């Protein structure tokens, strides 16, 4: 690894050739996605992957590095999305409105994370998980009921600054003649922000602060006996993860130009990010890249693949029914069970362990 | 006790519904090694955990260097100058040896001369400096746990059964390290089942039974009095020599 890359990755490289290759392919495809694929679904999927890498990484910071099981993570994701979305909706599609909305969302998210942390992080893990579940449910109900403000269950659509609008033509690519629109600019804004936040998270987990979080995850009593205030460290970890989730929510709202309970606050999203972290590998951060990519790709394309499989097995008894596109969630579940069975420490954990064995 | 660094007065500790410590009274003189002896289940480890704040006392007072520490959180007690090496070593398996050691250096990056001094007793730590602590053997983990506690000078070291399951060669190195710590005026409270190890290091001794101190005095007196050993511990040094 070159000195620059090593510094960029805070000295915490992938530590496996296969993993390095996988990450290079993912980053390369995401970097060139608007120019590689036609159609809205591909770029939508790529943007969603970028956002969920940040969201899954923020949850990994909490679960994988600090050992905190929280069900309130989508609440912070929602706060970010609602902050930016409502700011654009009520104050108009200006950069100032967007930044003010983001600032308010970050402040609100941090205050809530701090309050939840100080009040609940002293209790045992299961009680903390229950408290966060209750707070997140209350927040989702509140967002649905304050319909004059939030748009209720319908949510709010909003316009974004002119530079980011799909109708804005920025320039044409010299060789291909392809038009670069505001939509592509939005995509790159999201991709670059996601990369910066991910690298920032990598820096945090590899700092002395990150090491204390890992020590607390392994044994909070020993960490306390070494002189570390476990509640304070956990609360700071909780706040950092919440801030990352707020930023992910803001990016997602910017991409969708819409904010509503189903896209940001639903419990289904909470389960999705939990699966992404587990599939990728807890406590690795790179696992969030792999997990989010696999999960979003499966979510976006499994149904299409099953249409092909179902028609290919036409005439064969039972198989067309088994591969019927309506059963995509069942197959997603099967994929998850298989991945946990074959990669108990997640894909990244398994690849790193194999690489370490080969090295020995 | 006139010059005690640590004093326990009437300390009671409950763990759940169990009344483990039932009025512990003893003092640890400044600058020496005090050994806490007793059969299994006598309350030695609970005493250490109570001093450290991990099992806070339900009654009684613990004073360290003139200040009351009973009721403080473990991190506050640690920052007041107490280091604890628990019975199960307590190394952080996912962190490297270097990260384990650096984590314990609360005042900043570890001092190079101090590190070299530690490596002179425990050379394996230098060899596995960049390896995850989880791959170390039991003896190496014990070395790391002790090294972590002494990475910075501390006023009081609480060490719980350091020789348990450890090879004799490593035990000799431990004795060397503890002897030098004594010379540096570090006070040590040691829980130990190995009477030979305990008597070679200890200056004073406290014997526990059923959550109480049943004997306190000099180690030299106990080491030479086989009748007392038999009465208090059911053994004699000659049998364990």
Three-state SS letters, B87-129: CCCCCCCCCEHHHHHHHHCCCCCCCHHHHHHHHHHCHHHHHCC
* Residue B151 lies inside a defined structural domain of this protein: no
Q: What is the CATH number of the domain that holds B190?
A: 3.40.50.300
**CB hemisphere CA count around B185 (13 angstroms):** 3
As a whole number of angstroms, the distance between CA A353 and CA A294 comes to: 20
Provide the domain count of chain A: 1
Q: Is A208 on the interface with B (CB under 8 A)?
A: yes
Torsion angles phi and psi, residue B54, rounded to 5? -80, -30
- Indicate the SS3 state at residue A143: helix
Tokens of A248: 């992910």
More confident residue, B233 or B18: B18
* d(CA B76, nearest CA chain A) in Å: 6
Query: How many cross-chain Cβ pairs, A to B, lie less than 8 Å apart?
Result: 53
As a whole number of angstroms, the distance between CA B188 and CA B183 comes to: 11
Q: Give one word for A52, left, alpha or beta, with left for phi > 0 and alpha for psi -120 to 50.
A: alpha
More confident residue, A312 or A173: A312
**pLDDT band per the 50, 70, 90 thresholds, residue B89:** low
Q: What is the CATH number of the domain that holds A322?
A: 1.10.3470
Please give the residue of chain A at the shortest CA–CA distance from B51.
A225
More confident residue, A119 or A352: A352
Tokens of B129: 């400096």
* d(CA A226, nearest CA chain B) in Å: 6
* A221 with B54: Cβ contact below 8 A: yes
Please give the residue of chain A at the shortest CA–CA distance from B148.
A226
Which residue among B52, B90, B94 places its CB closest to the CB of A214?
Answer: B94
* Residue B240 lies inside a defined structural domain of this protein: yes
Q: Is A218 on the interface with B (CB under 8 A)?
A: yes
As a whole number of angstroms, the distance between CA B95 and CA A218 comes to: 10
Average pLDDT of span B24-43 = 93
The torsion defined by the Cα of B13, B18, B22 and B25, in degrees rounded to 10, comes to -40
Please give the residue of chain B at the shortest CA–CA distance from A222.
B90
* B75 with A218: Cβ contact below 8 A: no
More confident residue, A191 or A219: A191
Tokens of A121: 């992080």
**pLDDT band per the 50, 70, 90 thresholds, residue A360:** low
As a whole number of angstroms, the distance between CA B221 and CA B104 comes to: 37
pLDDT tens for B115-171 read 999 999 899 999 999 999 999 988 899 999 999 999 999 999 999 998 887 888 888
More confident residue, B212 or B231: B212
Are the beta carbons of B186 and B152 closer than 8 angstroms? no
* Mean pLDDT over each residue of chain B, to the nearest integer: 90
* d(CA B138, nearest CA chain A) in Å: 17
As a whole number of angstroms, the distance between CA B149 and CA B85 comes to: 7
As a whole number of angstroms, the distance between CA A53 and CA A297 comes to: 13
pLDDT tens for A146-184 read 999 999 999 999 999 999 999 998 888 776 778 889 999
* Mean pLDDT over each residue of chain A, to the nearest integer: 92
DSSP symbol at B61:
E
Model pTM score: 0.89
As a whole number of angstroms, the distance between CA B49 and CA B116 comes to: 30
Query: To 5 degrees, how large is the angle CA A281–CA A284–CA A286?
Result: 85
DSSP symbol at B54:
S
Which residues on chain A are in Cβ contact (under 8 Å) with B79? 227
* B95 with A226: Cβ contact below 8 A: no
Q: Is A161 on the interface with B (CB under 8 A)?
A: no
* d(CA A353, nearest CA chain B) in Å: 12
As a whole number of angstroms, the distance between CA B135 and CA B91 comes to: 11
* B78 with A225: Cβ contact below 8 A: yes
| Domain that includes residue B190, residue range | 1-81+180-241
Q: Is A215 on the interface with B (CB under 8 A)?
A: yes
- Whether the per-residue pLDDT at B237 is higher than 70: the answer is no
* A228 with B93: Cβ contact below 8 A: no
Which pLDDT belongs to residue B240? 45
Please give the residue of chain B at the shortest CA–CA distance from A216.
B92
* Residue B184 lies inside a defined structural domain of this protein: yes
**pLDDT band per the 50, 70, 90 thresholds, residue A52:** very high
Q: Is A228 on the interface with B (CB under 8 A)?
A: yes
Three-state SS letters, B22-53: EEEEEEEECCCEEEEEECCCCCHHHHHHHHHC
* Residue B27 lies inside a defined structural domain of this protein: yes
* A211 with B73: Cβ contact below 8 A: no
As a whole number of angstroms, the distance between CA A247 and CA A106 comes to: 8
Provide the domain count of chain B: 1
Which residues on chain B are in Cβ contact (under 8 Å) with A227? 75, 78-79, 106
- Range B149-186 burial, b when 16+ CB lie within 10 A, else e: bbbbebbbbbbbbbbeebeeebbebbbebbeebbeeeb
Which of A303, A298, A300, A295 has the alpha carbon at shortest distance from A325? A303
* Residue B147 lies inside a defined structural domain of this protein: no
Which pLDDT belongs to residue B239? 44
* Residue B69 lies inside a defined structural domain of this protein: yes
* A227 with B75: Cβ contact below 8 A: yes
Q: Is A153 on the interface with B (CB under 8 A)?
A: no
* B78 with A226: Cβ contact below 8 A: yes
As a whole number of angstroms, the distance between CA A10 and CA A101 comes to: 31
Which residues on chain A are in Cβ contact (under 8 Å) with B93? 218
- Whether the per-residue pLDDT at B97 is higher than 50: the answer is yes
| Domain that includes residue A350, residue range | 3-359
Q: Give one word for A229, left, alpha or beta, with left for phi > 0 and alpha for psi -120 to 50.
A: beta
Which residues on chain B are in Cβ contact (under 8 Å) with A122? none
Which pLDDT belongs to residue B226? 86
- Indicate the SS3 state at residue B70: coil
In B71-228, beta strands by DSSP E: 82-85, 156-160, 187-191, 204-209, 212-218
* Residue B158 lies inside a defined structural domain of this protein: no
Matching residue, tokens 């010299």: A174
Which pLDDT belongs to residue A157? 96
Q: Is A340 on the interface with B (CB under 8 A)?
A: no
Q: ipTM > 0.90?
A: no
């Amino acid at each position: 690894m070159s000195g620059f890359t090593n510094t960029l990755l805070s000295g915490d490289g992938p530590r496996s050739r296969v993993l390095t290759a996988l990450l290079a392919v993912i980053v390369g495809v995401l970097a060139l996605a608007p120019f590689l694929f036609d159609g809205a679904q591909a770029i939508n999927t790529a943007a969603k992957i970028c956002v969920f890498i940040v969201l899954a990484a923020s949850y990994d910071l909490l679960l994988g590095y600090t050992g905190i099981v929280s069900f309130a993570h989508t609440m912070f994701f929602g706060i970010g999305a609602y902050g930016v979305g409502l700011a654009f909706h009520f104050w108009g599609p200006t950069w100032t409105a967007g930044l003010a909305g983001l600032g308010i969302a970050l402040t609100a998210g941090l205050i809530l994370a701090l309050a939840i942390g100080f009040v609940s992080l002293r209790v045992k893990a299961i009680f903390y998980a229950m408290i966060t579940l209750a707070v997140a449910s209350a927040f989702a109900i509140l967002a649905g009921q304050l319909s004059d403000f939030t748009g209720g269950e319908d949510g709010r659509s909003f316009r974004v600054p002119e530079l980011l609008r799909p109708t804005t033509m920025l320039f044409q690519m010299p060789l291909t003649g392809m038009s670069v629109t505001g939509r592509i600019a939005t995509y790159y804004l999201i991709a670059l922000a996601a990369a910066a936040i991910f690298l920032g998270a990598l820096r945090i987990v590899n700092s002395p602060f990150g090491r204390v979080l890992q020590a607390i995850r392994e044994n909070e009593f020993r960490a306390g006996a070494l002189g570390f205030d476990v509640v304070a460290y956990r609360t700071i970890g909780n706040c950092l993860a919440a801030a990352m989730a707020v930023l992910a929510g803001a990016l997602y709202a910017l991409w969708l130009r819409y904010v509503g309970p189903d896209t940001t606050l639903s419990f289904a999203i909470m389960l999705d990010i939990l699966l992404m972290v587990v599939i990728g590998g807890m406590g690795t951060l790179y696992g969030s890249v792999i997990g989010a990519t696999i999960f979003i790709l499966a979510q976006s394309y499994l149904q299409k693949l099953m249409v092909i499989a179902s028609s290919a097995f036409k005439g064969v008894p039972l198989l067309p029914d088994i591969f019927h596109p309506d059963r995509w969630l069942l197959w997603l579940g099967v994929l998850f069970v298989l991945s946990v069975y074959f990669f108990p420490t997640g894909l990244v954990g398994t690849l790193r362990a194999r690489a370490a064995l080969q090295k020995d | 006790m006139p010059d005690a660094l640590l004093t326990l007065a009437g300390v009671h500790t409950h763990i759940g519904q169990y009344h483990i410590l039932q009025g512990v009274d003893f003092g640890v003189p400044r600058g020496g090694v005090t050994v806490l002896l007793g059969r299994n289940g006598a309350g030695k480890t609970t005493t250490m955990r109570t001093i450290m704040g991990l099992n806070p006392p339900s009654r009684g007072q613990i004073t360290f260097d003139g200040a009351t520490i009973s009721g403080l959180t473990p991190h506050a007690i640690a920052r007041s100058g107490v280091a604890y090496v628990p019975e199960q070593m307590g190394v952080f398996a996912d962190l490297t040896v270097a990260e384990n050691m650096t984590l314990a250096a609360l005042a900043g990056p570890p001092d190079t001369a101090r590190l070299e001094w530690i490596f002179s007793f425990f050379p394996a730590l230098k060899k596995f400096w960049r390896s995850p602590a989880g791959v170390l053997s039991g003896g190496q983990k014990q070395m790391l746990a002790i090294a972590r506690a002494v990475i910075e000078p501390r006023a009081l070291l609480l060490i719980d059964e350091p020789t348990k399951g450890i090879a004799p060669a490593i035990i000799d190195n431990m004795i060397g390290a503890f002897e030098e710590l004594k010379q540096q005026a570090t006070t040590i409270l040691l829980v130990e089942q190995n009477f030979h190890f305990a008597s070679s290091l200890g200056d004073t001794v406290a014997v526990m039974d059923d959550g109480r101190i049943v004997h306190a005095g000099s180690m030299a007196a106990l080491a030479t009095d086989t009748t007392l050993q038999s009465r208090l511990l059911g053994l004699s040094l000659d049998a364990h020599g």
